[in-house]
Structure 1
Amino acid sequence: MRLDKYLKVSRLIKRRTVAKDVSDQGRVLLNGREAKPGSDVKPGDVLEVQFGQRTLTVKVERTTDSARKEDAEGMYTILKEETRKTDTTFP
């Protein structure tokens, strides 16, 4: 399954066009490598997605062409969620 479609169907990202843009910007890693929107995603793969100050690392459990909201969370397992701290001190 294409990466941009997986991100949308799994509801990690709400819109496929946004998923494509995020991938094009190099903010998605697939198994430790920068991924393109058309990269093939399969069960067992590890995705790392950067959302601004937050980075979400998930393991792909299954792929399906469509999923209800209740079923979408079962498509991945969250491995790690990090929030980068910004330095708020001024010189």
Structure 2
Amino acid sequence: MRIDKYLWCTRYYKTRSIATQAIQKGHVTVNGQQAKASREVFPMDIVTVRRDQINYKLKVLDIPANRVGPKLVDVYRKDETPANAFEHLEMLKLAKEHYRAKGTGRPTKKDRRDLDDYTTDPDEENDIL
């Protein structure tokens, strides 16, 4: 089975054309080699997919006849992605939310003053006066 069709059948991509685009961009490797969309995959191949800043490592167990339901995906592949990759994604999400919550708009004057107070050294203020 073609790698783009396999990734679509195992629900890593919503459409086959999106899977093909990801392969063309170089986000997919098979057994450590860059893949083309027409590359055939066989059982026991190792497929690496870069998606959402995570490198998913998949082992092909079997080839599906057509697109399978979400509950049956584990019959056709084994996910060998290390757990620390998901922890790294969580850290990125927390870092984005650290300063300003999404949808709160531009910083106000009070926010700027608070930031200035935080970044200035209290010893410097005494020297100036």
TM-score range, shorter chain: 0.7 to 0.9
* One-letter code aligned to 1:76: R
Distance 2:33 2:46 in 1: 10
Percent identity, please.
26
Q: Is the 8 A contact 2:8 2:67 kept in 1?
A: no
**Gaps spanning 5+ residues in structure 2: where?**
96-129
Higher relative contact order (CA 8 A, sep 6+): 1
Distance 1:27 1:68 in 2: 23
Shift of the 43–9 alpha-carbon distance from structure 1 to 2, 3 Å rule, reads same
* One-letter code aligned to 2:5: K
**Gaps spanning 5+ residues in structure 1: where?**
none
Deviations 1:56-80 (A, max 9, x none): 0010000022143122221100111
Larger helix proportion of the pair: 2
Partner of 1:39: 39
Q: Which has the larger radius of gyration?
A: 2
Distance 2:10 2:31 in 1: 18
Larger strand proportion of the pair: 1
TM value normalised by structure 1: 0.85
TM-align CA RMSD:
1.7
Distance 1:4 1:29 in 2: 11
